[in-house]
């Protein structure tokens, strides 16, 4: 009789996420994986000729357009930015008093925002007469900010992306594996956690009431994985981390209410067999079972 073992459907089961040795990707000098940009949360117009200075913390609006007084009406839900932080007119148009005044308008995201809410993550000005064009992935508001007869045309451009602030990104690490010993014919690759979480393991601060996003299934060579979020204990955070996540007030270090803490993890199977639909169903079953407790027997059994 042959002593050969029957072929295995699954070689390894892996859990990847934020490990003790995970490095913060923001601190690395090397390029890190692209991640959703932080949203602009406010915007201000200042008049330098009047001695106005840039106020601290003015960086955020959800969307932007241009409003010509007397011609266009703001869209529903939009607000006109008609004064500077110093109570002067925020009119963007220069020239004689007879010209139409021009103002920015903005709309804020709903509260609480969805987990994948789109928002304005960057804005810039372009001057076509100088050979400038709309930057890649930006949109242009096709209304000239310069309404006078003199001077070049000036346009506002903005970039919309998934607005994801209050997030710390770390290099994904191996949290657990089965079996614990490597197979002689197929050792567990060290890069598996990176394939499971290519955008990194995260710690995220969400507004209370934000719905959990659905698990995301992905495949790679010899592997299939799902990414999901689960609660993260606040006591594991340092003060610096809590500040960056918006959990502490910058001024007096008091806790900020109305926030919940979460981390992104992944479970994965490695196999030489391309039965990805079967693996997806298996991983989704494990995930749903893990969040449906309490159970009489632990999941590991």
For 276-291, the pLDDT digits (tens) are 999 999 999 999 988 8
| 22 and 68 in a common domain | no
| 116 and 188 in a common domain | no
Give yes or no for a cis peptide into 294 (omega within 30° of 0).
Answer: yes
| 286 and 169 in a common domain | yes
Q: Which two tokens stand for residue 75?
A: 């869209």
| 111 and 170 in a common domain | no
| 170 and 79 in a common domain | no
Q: For residues 21 and 241, what is the distance between their CA atoms, to the nearest angstrom?
A: 16
Confidence at residue 85, expressed as pLDDT on a 0 to 100 scale: 67
| 256 and 224 in a common domain | yes
Averaged confidence pLDDT in the chain: 77
Confidence at residue 262, expressed as pLDDT on a 0 to 100 scale: 94
Residue 172 lies in a domain: yes
| 206 and 169 in a common domain | yes
Q: What is the pLDDT of residues 107-125, one digit of tens each?
A: 776 665 555 667 777 778 7
* Nearest alpha-carbon partner for 242 in 164, 173, 168, 171: 168
Q: For residues 15 and 196, what is the distance between their CA atoms, to the nearest angstrom?
A: 9
- What domain count does the chain have? 2
- Please state which of the ranges 8-17, 61-70, 250-259 shows the lowest mean pLDDT: 61-70
- Write out the residue range of the structural domain in which residue 272 sits: 12-35+165-290
Residue 160 lies in a domain: no
Residue 135 lies in a domain: no
pTM (2 d.p.): 0.59
pLDDT at 31 over 80: no
pLDDT at 227 over 60: yes
């Amino acid at each position: 009789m042959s002593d050969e073992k029957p072929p295995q459907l699954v070689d390894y089961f892996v859990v990847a996420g934020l490990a003790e040795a995970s490095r913060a990707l923001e601190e690395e000098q090397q390029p890190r994986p692209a991640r959703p940009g932080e949203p602009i949360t406010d915007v201000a117009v200042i008049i330098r000729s009047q001695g106005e200075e840039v106020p601290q913390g003015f960086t955020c609006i959800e969307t932007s357009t241009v409003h010509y007084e007397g011609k266009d009406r703001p869209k529903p839900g939009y607000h006109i930015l008609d004064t500077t932080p110093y109570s002067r007119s925020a009119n963007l148009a220069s020239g004689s008093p007879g010209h139409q005044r021009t103002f920015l308008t903005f709309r804020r995201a709903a509260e609480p925002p969805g987990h994948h809410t789109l928002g304005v993550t960057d804005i810039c000005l372009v001057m076509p007469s100088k050979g400038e064009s709309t930057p890649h992935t930006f949109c242009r508001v096709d209304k000239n900010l310069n309404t006078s007869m003199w001077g070049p045309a000036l346009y506002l451009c903005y970039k919309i992306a998934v607005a994801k602030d209050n997030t710390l990104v770390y290099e994904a690490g191996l949290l657990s594996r089965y079996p614990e010993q490597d197979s002689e014919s197929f050792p567990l690759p060290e890069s598996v956690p990176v394939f499971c979480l290519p955008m990194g393991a995260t710690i995220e601060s969400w507004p209370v009431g934000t719905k959990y996003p659905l698990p995301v299934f992905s495949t790679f060579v010899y592997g299939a994985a799902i990414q999901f979020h689960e609660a993260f204990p606040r006591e594991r955070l340092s003060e610096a981390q809590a500040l960056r996540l918006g959990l502490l007030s910058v001024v007096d270090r008091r806790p900020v209410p109305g926030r919940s803490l979460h981390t992104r993890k992944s479970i994965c199977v490695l196999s030489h067999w391309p039965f990805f639909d079967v693996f997806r169903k298996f991983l989704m079953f494990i995930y749903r079972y893990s969040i449906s407790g309490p159970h009489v027997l632990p999941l590991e059994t």
